[in-house]
């Protein structure tokens, strides 16, 4: 009987041990996070903050990461959480310990703090949420993190589906997976556009056009440079041609309107056209980055002269 009890206890312990991975895990260091992620094929979420100088980041760390109070009921996928603390004035002891915790971390794509980064188990960076993408209210940060986890897990699953379809030479399934993957607000796999072009040379639904849309910084810089060189009418014509492409998203169309506003702003006597373009950017895609740019440009330069 005693032996039977021992066996039952051992079985119970084994079952508990096998279920100890509840899908959500908080690691004590950057390296430990990826060790766990590789073992369980999990997404890694990293809060990059500065405990001795970054107030907003420290609030997020204390409220969600240190206390492990991320809304677990909303997390449907395996995920490992950890943080990287960028100290400004550490003691020698603090520096030694902190460097060990941060070992392996590279601030790729981070321009402001705090930042919330998402990675695949192999260390591939999927996204960096920073600046205005990181809310001030903790409850909204929690929602941002949950959405990032969901998008990242979807990326992981779609990438696996596409790779499996590719090996099976199922081009229809591969294109479907890559098409959905390409529309996620995350960093895209290398050469994804090239592969989509191979699978769908006719660009049936305009996905290639949307993926090839220029980054706003480049578009705005090129528009400014060329207009200042006297190419304003030519640039304006090109941008208006872009507006005719119906496959672009509302955010992309708003970005074009901002560029048109910039083009007019750098041409004498085009104040009215510039004001209209910036307003159109604000109206076509409310709540987006180009809409905010359009609003700020209009209010800063033209609202008083209306």
DSSP state string for 26-55: E-SSHHHHHHHHHHHT-EEEEEEE-TTT-H
pLDDT tens for residues 161-188? 999 999 999 999 999 999 999 989 999 9
CB 162 within 8 A of CB 154: no
- Euclidean distance between CA atoms 19 and 255, whole angstroms: 49
pLDDT tens for residues 104-131? 999 999 999 999 999 999 999 999 999 8
């528009």: which residue's tokens? 223
Instruction: Supply 169's token pair.
Output: 């030479």
Burial class (CB in 10 A: 0-12, 13-18, 19+), 70: buried
- Euclidean distance between CA atoms 47 and 105, whole angstroms: 12
pLDDT tens for residues 70-110? 765 556 678 999 999 999 999 999 999 999 999 999 999 99
pTM summary value: 0.73
- Euclidean distance between CA atoms 101 and 90, whole angstroms: 14
């104040």: which residue's tokens? 271
Between residues 267 and 1, which one has the greater pLDDT? 267
∠ Cα 290 295 300 (to 5°): 125
Query: Which runs of consecutive H residues, i.e. helices, occur in 45-91?
Result: 55-60
Which CATH number is associated with domain 23-135?
3.40.30.10
């Amino acid at each position: 009987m005693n032996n039977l009890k021992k066996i039952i206890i051992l079985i119970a312990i084994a079952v508990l041990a096998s279920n100890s991975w509840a899908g959500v895990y908080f690691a004590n260091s950057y390296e430990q996070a990826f060790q766990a992620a590789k073992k369980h094929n999990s997404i890694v979420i990293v809060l990059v903050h500065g405990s001795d100088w970054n107030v907003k980041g420290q609030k997020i760390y204390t409220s969600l990461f240190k206390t492990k109070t991320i809304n677990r009921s909303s997390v449907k996928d395996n995920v490992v959480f950890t943080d990287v603390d960028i100290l400004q004035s550490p003691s020698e002891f603090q520096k030694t310990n902190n460097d060990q915790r941060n070992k392996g971390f590279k601030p790729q794509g981070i321009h402001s703090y705090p930042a919330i980064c998402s990675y695949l188990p192999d260390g591939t960076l999927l996204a960096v949420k920073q600046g205005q993408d990181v809310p001030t209210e903790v409850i909204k940060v929690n929602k941002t993190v949950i959405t990032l986890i969901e998008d990242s897990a979807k990326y992981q699953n779609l990438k696996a589906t596409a790779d499996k379809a590719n090996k099976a030479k199922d081009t229809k399934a591969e294109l479907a997976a890559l098409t959905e993957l390409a529309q996620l607000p995350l960093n895209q796999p290398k050469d994804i556009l090239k592969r989509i072009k191979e699978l769908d040379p006719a660009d049936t639904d305009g996905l290639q056009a949307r993926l090839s849309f220029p980054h706003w910084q480049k578009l705005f810089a090129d528009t400014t440079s060329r207009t200042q060189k006297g190419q304003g009418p030519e640039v304006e014509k090109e941008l208006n041609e872009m507006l005719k492409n119906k496959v672009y998203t509302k955010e992309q169309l708003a970005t074009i309107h901002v560029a048109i506003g910039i083009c007019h702003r750098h041409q004498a006597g085009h104040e009215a056209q510039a004001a209209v373009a910036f307003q159109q950017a604000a109206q076509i895609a409310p709540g987006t980055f180009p809409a905010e740019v359009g609003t700020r440009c209009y209010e800063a330069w033209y609202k008083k002269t209306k």
